Structure formats: C-alpha cells, structure tokens
C-alpha cells in the first residue's frame, strides 16, 4: 500500500504535558586509564544539550511545522533555564512551573571515541503543590488546542494523569499517551497509548505469533477503553490496533544508530497527523516513517517536514 500523503501541519495546535528532562552530552578523547581506578580518562572536547522527554515531543511537533505548547514542572535551577532557552530556539511555547524543591531531571552522557562510557542521572520528584498548579493551567490551556500528548517518563510529572485525561475528554480533545510503568489502568479513557515492545511485553506477557500479539493488544485496548493502541517494535516497525483492524507497519530504518527519543518522534508525528485530519492508519504510517528517520540520527533528535516528505516520496 502506498504511503499516506503528508498533511498540512501548519494549522495544528497541540498541548504537550509530562516529564521534561535535559539531555547533556560530553564528547571527548580517551587515551589512557586513570591511575586512581581502572576507568578511562575522558578529555572533554565538546558539549551539547538537547531537550528530552516531553520537551523532545514538543520540539518534534514544531519541527513538522505544527505549534506546540509544553506544560511541565521543573526545578528552579540552571538546567530549567537551559531547557527554556533550547525550547524557545525551536519555537516551542513552554510553561515550566518552577518548583524550588525539585531538581530538573538531567541525563548526562559521557562519550569517548563515539562510545557511551557513562550516564549520570539527576532527578527528584515534584511537589504536590506544583502538580496542582500544573493541573489548573492544563484545564485553561486544553480548550485552545486540537489534541493533547501526555509523555510519561516515570518522573512524577503525570501523577494526576487520570484527571488530565478526563479534562481533555470533557473538552472533546483526543489525548495520546506515551506510557510508563505497569499500572496502565491510570491511562483508562485515553484515545491512544504508544507502549514500546518491551513495555507491552512486561504488561501483556510474551506472544507466540502475530495473531497472539493482536489478541493481547485488543484485549488491553478494550479493557482500557482506548480507541487505538500502537506498539512500537524497534527494528520490526510498529503495530496499530483499533476496533476495526490490526495492522503492522514494517520498519523504515535502513540502519539504526540510536533509538533514544524515537518514541517521542513517533507520538509527536502520530498526534500531529491525527490533528491535521488523517485517519489512524495513515497517521501510524507517517509516524513509522518518522521513527525510521530519527533512529538513523545520534542522540535525541527531530524529523523535519522536509525529511518526512522525502521519505514518503
């Protein structure tokens, strides 16, 4: 079947809420082992910072030409200021509720000779007060957008996800969730969930073949009152399950360099396409193309409208 035509994203307005983080990269050379411990010494030559988590979803939306508003809780710290500057440069309208008791989540990766040697995480869960303020603003913002993305990275920013889903549905807005953890009941009533292969296997168990996968996926979709379920399957592509069909899209990646953040690209593209009027199967096909492009890039990255248009021909 031929690829879906690329929708016009220019009038699409999306709200992204969830866990934000800052991806930091230290690149350097390794020429010796430390005399203090049996570890390599990295002489750092270059540093990079990129928005991660829900912030990466938002920047993927704007890269396609749609508008994104990001709502999240962050620390009152330098990392949050860096995130705001990075997001502004990528045309994301951000509303970061600063919590003085919270450390903005930072993932620091040390890379030597193109190999990741170490990752250091800095994080602390947000306060109930900050989450309450975020929910109040969510209620105010949701009516002015076409759809909502909730990006759960398990950092506490979506502690009140059930109330957010209910608010979005009261306003008649589709709400798509990138889930985390084992308690999927908290996502009941969402329009669509996008677990990856490992997350779905942990929840539904191992499947013996494609028919068994479809049975397990449709059972979960029905139990959670979802319109659709997308299982992203890395090198195998992705599978879409709706009340009408179970459809598999094979991978579009020619070579996989880095899958970090690929799920962000998939849900961003799917939501933008759905909000632009595409049917679920066409949105899934476009999201699969986008995922195939982004895994050929190193680190958390985005896919532009031009790249997506070239890929689908």
Q: Which residues are catalytic?
A: 264
As beta bridge partners, residue 33 has 40
List, as own/partner pairs, every contact residues 39-47 make where C-beta atoms lie below 8 angstroms and the sequence separation is at least 24, other chains included: 40/112, 40/117, 42/110, 42/112, 42/117, 44/110
Environment class of 132 (CB within 10 Å of its CB; exposed 0-12, middle 13-18, buried 19+): exposed
As beta bridge partners, residue 17 has 71, 150
Question: Listing from the earlier edge strand, what are the strands of the sheet with 175-178?
Answer: 93-99, 67-75, 13-18, 147-151, 175-178, 192-193, 228-232, 238-242, 246-249
As beta bridge partners, residue 54 has none
CB 158 within 8 A of CB 131: no
Instruction: Find tokens 């050929």 and name the residue.
Output: 296
CB 240 within 8 A of CB 257: no
**Bridge-based pairing state of the strands 93-99 and 13-18:** unpaired
As beta bridge partners, residue 111 has 27, 116
The three-class DSSP label of residue 96 is strand
Question: Listing from the earlier edge strand, what are the strands of the sheet with 115-122?
Answer: 40-53, 20-33, 105-112, 115-122
């Amino acid at each position: 079947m031929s690829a879906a035509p690329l929708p016009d994203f220019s009038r699409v307005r999306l709200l992204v809420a969830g866990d934000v983080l800052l991806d930091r990269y230290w690149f350097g050379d390794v020429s010796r082992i430390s005399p203090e411990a049996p570890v390599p010494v990295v002489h750092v030559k270059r540093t990079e910072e990129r928005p991660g988590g829900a912030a990466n979803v938002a920047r993927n939306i704007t890269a396609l030409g749609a508008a994104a508003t990001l709502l999240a809780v962050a620390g009152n710290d330098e990392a949050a200021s860096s995130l705001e500057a990075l997001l502004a440069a990528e045309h994301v309208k951000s509303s970061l509720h600063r919590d003085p008791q919270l450390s903005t989540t930072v993932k620091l990766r040390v890379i030597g000779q193109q190999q990741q040697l170490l990752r250091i995480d800095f994080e602390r869960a947000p306060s109930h007060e900050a989450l309450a303020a975020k929910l109040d603003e969510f209620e105010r913002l949701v009516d002015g957008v076409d759809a909502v993305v909730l990006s759960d990275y398990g950092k506490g920013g979506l502690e009140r996800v059930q109330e957010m889903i209910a608010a979005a549905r009261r306003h008649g807005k589709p709400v798509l969730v990138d889930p985390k953890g084992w308690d999927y009941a908290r996502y009941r009533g969402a329009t669509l969930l996008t677990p990856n292969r490992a997350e779905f296997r942990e929840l539904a168990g191992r499947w013996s073949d494609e028919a068994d996968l479809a049975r397990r996926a449709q059972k979960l979709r029905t139990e959670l009152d979802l319109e659709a379920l997308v299982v992203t399957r890395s090198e195998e592509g992705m599978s879409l399950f709706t009340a009408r069909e179970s459809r598999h899209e094979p991978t579009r990646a020619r070579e996989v360099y880095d899958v970090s953040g690929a799920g962000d690209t998939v849900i961003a593209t799917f939501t933008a396409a759905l909000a632009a009027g595409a049917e679920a199967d066409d949105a899934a096909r476009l999201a699969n193309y986008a995922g195939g492009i982004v895994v050929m890039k190193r680190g958390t990255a985005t896919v532009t409208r031009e790249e997506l248009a070239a890929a689908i021909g």
